[in-house]
Amino acid sequence: MLKKGDLYYPSKEFAHSAIINNKKIYKDAGKNPIKFWEGLAKELFWFKKWKKAFIHKPPYFQWFVGGKINITSNIFENNSLGWENIKNKAAIIWEPEIPEERQRVLTYYELFREVNRFANALKRLGVKKGDRVGIYLPMIPEAIISMLACARIGAIHTVVFSAFSSSALQIRLQDTKAKVLITADGYYRRAKVIDLKRNADEAIKNTKVKKMIVVKRAGNEVAWNRNRDLWWQNLVAGESDECDAQIMDAEDTLFILYTSGSTGKPKGTVQTCGGYAVQAKFTGKWIFDLRKDDIFWSTADLGWITGHTYSCYSPLLNAATFVIFEGAPNSPTPDRWARIIEKYGITIFYTAPTAVRMFKKYGADILKKYKFETLRLLSSVGEPIDESSWKWYFKEIGKNRCPVVDTWWQTETGGILITSLPGIGPFRPCFTGLPFPGLKFDIVDDKGKRVSSNKQGNLVLLPPFAPGLLRGIYRNPEKYLKTYWRQCGKKIYFTSDAALKDKNGLIRIVGRIDDVLKVAGHRFTTGELEDAVSHISYISESAVVGVLDEIKGQVPIIFVVLKETTPVEKVQKEIKLQLRKEIGPIISTKQVYIVKDLPKTRSGKIMRRILRKLFTGEELGDLSTLSNQESVEHIKSVINN
Ligand code: PRX
């Protein structure tokens, strides 16, 4: 990499061989973005070409209207790289949590046959085009096989993160009315077996789930309902390994993925078959410079959007070989992730800043024995990466050689939308980069007026948006309208992020402007955490605020008002248990404070801004709307005690 002032550029060699290395792409795409996306879409296989590329009826829009496609045909038999060329190359390398256990490798052809077998099994169970199927699986190949089998027959998958609790799973199954749930007996996490089936059994109460398919993974004892439960291995045994792809309309739903929204209840973002495929394929190809010979590792779990797009669909559409890993990156030893990079000769590594900060904290000593010679590109996602972590990543892992590509996007956008392209640059620590070619972003004030360079404002996306931008919130059009299309009108997509642009047009993401927290890159709302806490009988009120954390980026702190005196240790313990029960073990709180009163406006709204500042010790600013001034001194004394 070459450094000029604050900016870094790819080396001549990297730029020379990169898939995209000419700045002209931005100008060309910008002239006619619809035509640009159409050009990319043409490289995919369509059963029937679209009649119109883009139709806009604000706040709704459609891409590739009238086109017929199936994403799995584009991965397998009609892959643009030629089926005969890719059939016998490795698709998935699965690294189990226990290092001594053997990895599993599935070639494209093997994966294809497994997908077809399972697709036939789903059909036999009565799953049809448009039906919703819940997937609650750990990071094992069957999770990808399940997703692709649904896509093969036109069923809509809803993947739920395996570390989410049974309550979180239940809400999603109820909202989608899924008939089938795919899960596993258990899986390994830090050498312990996690009983996933027990959670699943609990979750499907009061849902429409009629059949539960269970992958035998950990071999642990599980409860069994003979009329409902089916072992995956038995189910697929007699099935044919051929299954025709269901012809899908470009605008048919491919999947629903839940994410935390502006209020307590998670919202189901809807992705379509055509637009998503185009965006997943080309963002991966251009942003990671992804080729058939790469060994790609995106550390994200399939339960999140990064997992859907870059631990599954994008590398498959680009016929790359990619790694999925069942366990935690620092187990059984802190260098597990480095061992995986070396073991498989990873060429492209994609992770979250939280992971980078954690590795950095372990210190350079544990990395001495690793050379990382196979790596050629590093990337980051999910939260802002601070300058010192960026530089550490660049130097210690990328050996001053690999471009560090910071990628901004959201569950709602389906794929990466802002980043510097690795063959062009420039890269600037803390700045994600330029909008992907063909996209128009603006930074505006609260009245919708564009702000000048280096001024912070709201990040918005202008038409024609992106083919992979969500088409709706499942069964909740009002929420769709309110969350994304109200603040700046029905024609402008509101990201809920604050950002600024430097004089080169590079965008820096400052953070969320709503009540979303990014804890270790995972998305939660203050509302859903407060909702969980409110189920504890002796708590009358609570307020959650996100504060900075050295490793996790942000963590929640919780203020509670009690109905009756209760020892602080008991309150802390029960809040922890409650969060585990309602959300899952991935969320924990940094601090719980018992207070007499919460700061409120005259209309009774909790002023979280004040709570956050009291915790950090910042100036409180304007307190004119605060109705209970006395709460401030009291809370200060509780925090300082
Ligand atoms: O605030 C932005 C932050 O993550 C939010 C989206 O979260 P989620 O839907 O969970 O998707 C995460 C993975 C795509 C955004 O609104 N965010 C995402 N990427 C970055 C980021 N913040 C700063 N820099 C990034 N690269």
* Least confident among 191-200, 428-437, 508-517: 508-517
**86-113: average pLDDT:** 97
Q: What is the Cα–Cα distance from 635 to 639, expressed in whole angstroms? A: 6
**What confidence tier does 621 reach under pLDDT thresholds 50, 70, 90?**
confident
Do the beta carbons of residue 415 and residue 283 sit within 8 Å? yes
Residue with the smallest CA separation from ligand 1 atom 18 is: 382
Tens digit of each residue's pLDDT (9 = 90 or more) over 368-392: 999 999 999 999 999 999 999 999 9
Q: Six-digit token pair at 163?
A: 């570390």
Tens digit of each residue's pLDDT (9 = 90 or more) over 506-553: 999 999 998 899 999 999 999 899 989 989 999 999 999 999 999 999
Ligand 1 pocket test: pick from 509, 552, 554 the residue with the most ligand atoms within 8 Å of its Cβ.
509
Q: What is the pLDDT, as a whole number, of residue 240?
A: 98
Per-residue burial over 393-425, b = 16 or more CB atoms within 10 Å of its CB, e = otherwise: bbebbbeebbbbbbbbbbbbbbbbbbbbbbbbb
**What confidence tier does 264 reach under pLDDT thresholds 50, 70, 90?**
low
- Helix H, strand E, coil C: the string for 309-344 is HHHHHHHHHCCCEEEEECCCCCCCCCCHHHHHHHHH
pLDDT at 588 over 90: no
**163-176: average pLDDT:** 96
**What confidence tier does 263 reach under pLDDT thresholds 50, 70, 90?**
low
Residue with the smallest CA separation from ligand 1 atom 22 is: 383
For 306, other C-beta atoms within 10 Å of its C-beta total 25
Ligand 1 pocket test: pick from 436, 523, 525 the residue with the most ligand atoms within 8 Å of its Cβ.
523
User: Which residue is listed with tokens 């109905």?
Assistant: 563
Q: What is the pLDDT, as a whole number, of residue 364?
A: 81
Between the CA of 268 and the centroid of ligand 1 the distance, in Å, is 17
Between the CA of 158 and the centroid of ligand 1 the distance, in Å, is 20
From the CA of 419, give the closest atom in ligand 1: 26
From the CA of 409, give the closest atom in ligand 1: 14
Cis ω on the peptide bond leading into residue 556 (within 30° of 0)? no
Q: Name the nearest CA neighbour of 209 among 120, 100, 136.
A: 136
Tens digit of each residue's pLDDT (9 = 90 or more) over 203-242: 999 999 999 999 999 999 999 999 999 999 999 999 999 9
pLDDT at 95 over 80: yes
Q: What are the φ and ψ backbone dihedral angles of 321, each rounded to 5 degrees?
A: -100, 135
* Least confident among 119-123, 246-250, 460-464, 552-556: 552-556
Amino acid, res. 385: I
Between the CA of 394 and the centroid of ligand 1 the distance, in Å, is 21
For 584, other C-beta atoms within 10 Å of its C-beta total 20
Q: What are the φ and ψ backbone dihedral angles of 229, each rounded to 5 degrees?
A: -90, 140
Q: What is the Cα–Cα distance from 510 to 495, expressed in whole angstroms? A: 12
Q: What is the pLDDT, as a whole number, of residue 23?
A: 96
Q: What is the pLDDT, as a whole number, of residue 560?
A: 96
Q: What is the Cα–Cα distance from 448 to 458, expressed in whole angstroms? A: 8
Between the CA of 518 and the centroid of ligand 1 the distance, in Å, is 8
User: Which residues have any ligand 1 atom within 6 Å of their CB?
Assistant: 259, 305-306, 381-384, 406-411, 432, 495-497, 509, 512, 518, 523
pLDDT at 262 over 70: no
**395-404: average pLDDT:** 96
Contacts of 449 (CB under 8 A, 6+ apart): none
Per-residue burial over 428-446, b = 16 or more CB atoms within 10 Å of its CB, e = otherwise: bbbbbbbbbbbbebbbbee
Q: What is the pLDDT, as a whole number, of residue 129?
A: 98
Query: Maximum Cα–Cα distance for the chain, whole Å?
Result: 74
Q: What is the Cα–Cα distance from 463 to 60, expressed in whole angstroms? A: 11
In degrees, rounded to 5, the angle at the alpha carbon of residue 232 between the alpha carbons of residues 231 and 234 is 70
**54-58: average pLDDT:** 98
Rounded to two decimals, what is the model's pTM? 0.95
pLDDT at 154 over 70: yes
Contacts of 616 (CB under 8 A, 6+ apart): 547, 548
Q: Name the nearest CA neighbour of 13 among 377, 505, 312, 276.
A: 377
8-state DSSP, 412: G
Contacts of 126 (CB under 8 A, 6+ apart): 179
Its sign, for the CA torsion 387, 390, 396, 398, is negative
What does 229-287 look like in DSSP terms, one character per residue? EEEHHHHHHT--S--PPPPEETTSEEEEEEE--SSSS-EEEEEEHHHHHHHHHHHHHHH
Alpha carbon of residue 123 to chain centroid: 29
Ligand 1 pocket test: pick from 386, 408, 494, 514 the residue with the most ligand atoms within 8 Å of its Cβ.
408
pLDDT at 611 over 70: yes
Q: What is the mean pLDDT of the chain?
A: 96
